[in-house]
Amino acid sequence: MVQGKGRSSVVITSPHNTQFFICIKEKKTTHVLDKIRYTPEDMETEAASIADQPVKKEEGVVFGDIWSKRERTYLCRVEEGVQRHWSFGRIVLVGDAAHKMTPVGAHGGNCGIESAAGLANALHKHLRLHPDHPIDDTTIQQAFAAYQRKREPRVRNFYGRVYKATRLLSYDNWILWFVARYVMPLMNSDKMLTGLFEDAESVDALAQPLRARRFKDLVPAKTEMRQSEGLFQTVVGLGNTVVSVMSRVLQGTMAMLDTTVKSKQQ
């Protein structure tokens, strides 16, 4: 992941190609029903604005060089949010249809896979407990409701993390800029991420694959992860509080100055 003012980038490599996902902060908040569509000219404009951004600094490669050799491009809005209702009748939502996040951390894809497993578990549980019961609308709706009850808290946890990380990496304010540049490098991000998958959903009806135990310090690693994660949440929370307080103080100061000016004019 690459940090930047007003934008952040996710780079995914493979033996045959490299994919760039660039998140750009819009000038104003829009709604999904606004149905905004971007033109090829809009895409060229955005690409030109970051053409000088280094990609491989030691070799002098910038984004403009990559852009000139692109194979496929697409510019679209990325919605963020979690639906209140994930089902209606026999229709159920899974993945981005139920919970949409930015590409930061690739957690949206992971949550989609977990939700598919969670839905399979909910349906299988009802079939296993009531093998002779007909699969009527009531049974289906109960399974869908159980699926959302179990998945939604974990999904909202991930959504909140991705929401904050997206704004952190794009320097949404000066406190987040400071945290991204000088605090995050001091944290053990690997151990922070490890803890996120401890309670991951898996398909109950499938046997888990056997794995050799490669790490002997699993418990200490989890402990350190939680300490680092707690520090991260504390710093970001304090940062947001400081920004909010300073913003109110500044607004109050401007109001006082405005009052003083009006008083002198009178």
- pLDDT tens over the chain, length 266 residues: 677 787 887 788 888 888 888 888 887 777 777 778 888 898 899 889 888 888 777 888 888 898 888 888 888 888 889 999 999 999 999 999 999 998 888 888 889 999 999 999 999 888 887 777 777 888 889 999 999 999 999 999 999 988 888 888 888 888 888 888 888 777 766 666 666 777 788 888 887 766 655 544 444 444 444 444 555 555 555 555 554 554 454 444 344 444 443 444 44
Domain-located, residue 209: no
pLDDT of the residue at 63? 86
Domain-located, residue 204: no
Given its phi and psi angles, is residue 224 left (phi above 0), alpha (psi -120 to 50 degrees) or beta?
alpha
Domain around 108: 79-170
Same domain, residue pair 163 and 236: no
Same domain, residue pair 141 and 181: no
Boundary (domain end) residue, out of 21, 47, 68: 68
- Contact yes or no for 158/101 (Cβ under 8 A): yes
pTM beyond cutoff 0.85: no
**Residue 222: which of 190, 249, 200 has the closest Cα?**
190
Domain-located, residue 74: no
Q: How many domains does the chain have?
A: 3
Same domain, residue pair 148 and 223: no
Q: Which residue has 């491009």 as its token pair?
A: 73
